[in-house]
């Protein structure tokens, strides 16, 4: 095998549609991608379900587990599957002997508020299995009552992104049914606050701390527009703004007699029940006193006004290097033997670049959920700041800047492996704007058109793939057979393409997933992968 440098491009959210409905990828003008698929060695990869460590093949993939698999060449139990196993075995609640600190965290949370406090749950109210699963919340509510908790409050973040765009009332009804089942003279459970996931609380990569501030005011301080029920809030917002989707709904507070039912105060316990890390880190920083400091002056991102002395835990530890949060319910996968480790061991310089929205994916998630570098000397990371604007209003995002940077990096001849993420197909796809998503896909194709001549000139092998689908399926049929907006990831396969004018690579026929990419890259570079890896495709 030639040891030419390799450029790996992850076209985030670009897959192959099986329905042809709302397929922005096919509708887009993509002459370069079309030619690559017609003339270069390529195969379609599974990027969801068991291929990326999720419970089953009805579970859509996401950028986090996708980049984990791409970067480590192995399949680890992930997200929902990890939590499912911890709940089913009883380890999360200390029922089974786990030998880990997770059961202790549940005991700490319960004991802290068992007598006079309230146990609060904050998280995404859906069964999308990308950030959370409502079933996990239900299991914890039931176990909390068994453990002697007298009062629980749920602060709901509405999805409409990993599930149908206007499905929030379905999930609210399910939660209300469980609370009704549990409520009696010994237990008082209520929904306390809520709002759309793209309006409050769930920012990522410190792109928009104002989102987290809005969440803090809503959940902790109990400040915001008052309603008597979550259903009433959602119906009112939809009536006032026809066409609004769940992820964009404003924040709301549930109140009785003009008093919020669920402010978070000293002596309470708080569980963030999202299992995915990227959109859980900032709110954890605001709560975790060991990470952020116990008073507002030590927290520079926004004025928290009041910092309650609570026992706080995440479903997982969202950042192992930062130990954030310090307390967590389920141990994350311990990913070992990543591609970056193999490259460093063989003294190969590597470079990673994306804009803010996906920078963590080509660094933290790619490197096995590690914030730092495997080698300061051999790894270079470049973050290009994302625009703070809805991505359907600027669907080209920072693709031109990413491409400019890649061209200069290739010309430097310093790196044996270069990787990047073009976020357009995913981030614009999540807005539900089909026309804008078409532009986003075309923008990625334009980037490819600029990179191919440079790869040819500098003898670089170009690999084009994706981490999951999204823009390829932006409409779906509901139970009535009517078309409705789809903003979630798809279950479709994604491309893996090799473009190399100097080497005649042939892909071995087989059934492959994202974890087969790293072994293939290693073979191209003449390296021997760890025995734990999946097989190479060439």
Dihedral angle of Cα 227, 228, 229, 231, to the nearest 10 degrees: -60
Does 142 lie in the same domain as 48? no
Q: Out of 330, 345, 378, pick the residue that ends a domain.
A: 330
Does 408 lie in the same domain as 276? no
**How does the average pLDDT of the chain come out, rounded?**
93
- pLDDT, tens digit (0-9, with 9 covering 90-100), for 166-179: 999 999 999 999 99
Q: How confident is the model at residue 27 (pLDDT cuts 50, 70, 90)?
A: very high
Question: pLDDT over 90 for what percent of the chain?
Answer: 84
Mean pLDDT of all residues in 67-81: 92
pLDDT value of position 295: 47
User: Which of 17, 40, 63, 290 is the catalytic position?
Assistant: 63
**Domain of 92: which CATH number?**
3.40.1450.10
Q: How confident is the model at residue 100 (pLDDT cuts 50, 70, 90)?
A: very low
pLDDT value of position 290: 53
Residue 192 has pLDDT above 60, yes or no: yes
Residue 480 has pLDDT above 90, yes or no: no
Residue 99 has pLDDT above 90, yes or no: no
Q: Out of 330, 349, 380, pick the residue that ends a domain.
A: 330
Does 208 lie in the same domain as 114? yes
Residue 529: inside a domain: no
Residue 534: inside a domain: no
Domain that holds residue 183: 80-330
Question: Of 283, 259, 261, which is closest to residue 192 (Cα–Cα)?
Answer: 261
- pLDDT, tens digit (0-9, with 9 covering 90-100), for 115-155: 899 999 999 999 998 899 999 999 999 999 999 999 999 99
Residue 380: inside a domain: yes
pLDDT value of position 296: 45
pLDDT value of position 2: 55
Does 376 lie in the same domain as 423? yes
User: Is-catalytic flag, 2?
Assistant: no
Task: Give the H or E element holding residue 345.
Answer: helix 339-345
Dmax of the chain from CA atoms? 75
Which CA distances in Å does 318 have to 26, 61, 245, 341, 371?
36, 18, 28, 21, 10
For 439, the 3-state DSSP assignment is helix
Question: pLDDT over 70 for what percent of the chain?
Answer: 96
Token readout for 115 is 């007598």
Does 419 lie in the same domain as 289? no
State how many domains the chain has. 2
Residue 305: inside a domain: yes
For the chain, the residue count is: 538
Does 96 lie in the same domain as 60? no
Buried (b) or exposed (e) across 486-519, using 16+ Cβ within 10 A? bbbbbbbbbbbbbbbeeeebebeeeebbbbbbbb
Does 267 lie in the same domain as 186? yes
Residue 468: inside a domain: yes
Q: Out of 263, 297, 330, pick the residue that ends a domain.
A: 330
Residue 513 has pLDDT above 90, yes or no: yes
**Domain of 409: which CATH number?**
3.40.720.10
Does 368 lie in the same domain as 305? no
Residue 129: inside a domain: yes
- pLDDT, tens digit (0-9, with 9 covering 90-100), for 347-388: 999 999 999 999 999 999 999 988 789 999 999 999 999 998
Residue 21 has pLDDT above 70, yes or no: yes
pLDDT value of position 451: 98
pTM of the model: 0.76
Residue 98 has pLDDT above 80, yes or no: no
Does 470 lie in the same domain as 360? yes
Residue 538: inside a domain: no
Phi, psi of 152 (to 5 degrees): -135, 145
């Amino acid at each position: 095998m030639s040891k030419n440098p390799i450029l790996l491009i992850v076209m985030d959210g670009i897959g192959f549609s099986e329905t042809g409905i709302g397929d922005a990828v096919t509708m887009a003008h993509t002459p370069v991608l079309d030619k690559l698929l017609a003339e270069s060695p390529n195969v379609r990869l599974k990027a969801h379900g068991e291929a990326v460590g999720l419970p089953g093949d009805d579970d859509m993939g996401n950028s986090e587990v996708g980049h984990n698999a791409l970067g480590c060449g192995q399949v680890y139990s992930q997200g929902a599957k990890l939590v499912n196993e911890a709940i089913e075995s009883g380890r999360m609640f200390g029922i089974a002997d786990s030998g880990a600190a997770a059961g202790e965290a549940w005991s700490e949370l319960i004991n802290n508020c068992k007598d006079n406090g309230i146990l609060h749950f904050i998280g995404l109210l859906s069964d999308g299995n990308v950030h959370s699963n409502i079933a996990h919340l239900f299991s914890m509510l039931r176990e909390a009552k068994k453990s002697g908790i007298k009062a629980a409050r749920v602060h709901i973040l509405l999805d409409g992104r990993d599930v149908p765009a206007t499905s929030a009332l379905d999930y609210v009804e399910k939660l209300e049914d469980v609370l009704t089942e549990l409520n009696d003279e010994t237990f008082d459970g209520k929904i306390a606050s809520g709002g759309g996931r793209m309006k409050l609380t769930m920012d990522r990569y410190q792109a928009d701390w104002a989102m987290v501030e809005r969440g803090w005011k809503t959940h902790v301080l109990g400040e915001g527009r008052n309603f008597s029920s979550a259903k009433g809030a959602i119906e009112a917002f939809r009536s006032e703004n026809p066409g609004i989707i769940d992820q964009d709904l404003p924040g709301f507070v549930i109140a009785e007699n003009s008093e919020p039912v669920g402010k978070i105060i000293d002596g309470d316990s708080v569980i963030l029940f999202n299992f995915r890390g990227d959109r859980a880190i900032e709110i954890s920083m605001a709560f975790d006193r060991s990470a952020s400091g116990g008073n507002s002056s030590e927290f520079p991102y926004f004025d928290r006004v009041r910092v309650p002395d609570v026992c706080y835990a995440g479903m997982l530890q969202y950042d192992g290097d930062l130990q954030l949060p310090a307390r967590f319910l389920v141990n994350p996968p311990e990913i070992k033997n990543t591609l970056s480790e193999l490259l460093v061991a063989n003294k190969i310089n590597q470079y990673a670049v994306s804009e803010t929205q996906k920078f963590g994916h080509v660094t933290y998630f790619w490197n096995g959920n590690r914030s730092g570098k495997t080698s300061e000397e051999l790894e270079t990371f470049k973050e290009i700041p994302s625009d703070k604007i809805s991505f359907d209003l600027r669907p080209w995002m920072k693709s031109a800047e990413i491409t400019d940077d890649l061209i200069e990096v290739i010309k430097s001849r310093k790196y044996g492996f270069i990787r990047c993420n073009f976020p357009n197909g995913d981030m614009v796809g999540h807005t539900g704007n089909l026309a804008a998503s078409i532009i986003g896909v075309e923008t990625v194709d334009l980037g490819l058109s600029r990179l191919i001549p440079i790869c040819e000139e500098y003898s670089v092998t170009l690999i084009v793939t994706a981490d999951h689908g999204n823009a390829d399926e932006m409409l779906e049929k509901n139970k009535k057979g009517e078309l409705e907006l789809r903003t979630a990831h798809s279950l479709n396969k994604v491309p893996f393409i090799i473009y190399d004018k100097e080497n005649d690579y042939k892909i071995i026929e087989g059934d492959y997933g994202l974890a087969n990419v790293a072994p293939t890259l290693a073979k191209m570079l003449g390296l021997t992968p760890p025995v734990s890896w999946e097989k190479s495709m060439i």
